Amino acid sequence: MDKPKVKSPPRRKRPRGRPKNDPVYYVVAVEDWDWGFWFGVSNMPERNGPYDDYRHLNLRGRLLRPAKLKCEEVELHILPDKRLDEGVREQNRPVSIGHINLRKARMDGILSMPADALPLLLTLATAEKLRFMVMQGERLRYGSAAIKSFRVEMNIGEDDLPDEA
């Protein structure tokens, strides 16, 4: 007659979305820097007020970590944003502070920072004390990665370098 059906064990469900990765630390030895400034009448006065300005700090150097990445040069554009200053940024729900891209052995990145931090970084740069930048973010995927945080260092020893991922 009819045999009783044997139930197979339920399938394990895979978690949805991208797998969570451990953070990766990108360490850049800063070799050169540049600063740009633009000021003018705003194209959107209803949003930004009657004036607009554009300030950015460019850092150029070489990638120390992860050492396995084939990268000959790094250029980072750090843009100050008044919306990230203390007292204003508490309403934000950020996912990242910027992104890096690696193409043809060249890494480019755009990062945001609080506008009130720019004078401090410019002081370090003019005194030639801004020597290292450590960025923490996602693993590169298709040549791009979101950056969650960064710090600048005057000195960094071999013991201070993050472990290779």
Q: Decide if 164 contacts 68 (C-beta within 8 A).
A: yes
Q: Is 162 inside any structural domain?
A: no
With 0-12 / 13-18 / 19 or more C-beta atoms within 10 angstroms meaning exposed / middle / buried, residue 15 is: exposed
Check residue 92 and give its pLDDT: 72
Q: Is 71 inside any structural domain?
A: yes
109-164 pLDDT per residue, tens: 999 998 888 999 999 999 999 999 999 999 999 999 999 999 999 998 877 777 77
46-97 pLDDT per residue, tens: 766 888 888 899 999 999 999 899 999 999 999 988 777 667 667 777 889 9
Q: pTM here?
A: 0.79
16-46 pLDDT per residue, tens: 665 566 899 999 999 999 999 889 998 887 7
Q: Is 35 inside any structural domain?
A: yes
Check residue 88 and give its pLDDT: 62
Domain count, the chain: 1
The CA-atom distances, in angstroms, between 82 and each of 35, 38, 71, 142 are 17, 16, 32, 31
> What is the span of the domain harbouring residue 81?
24-153
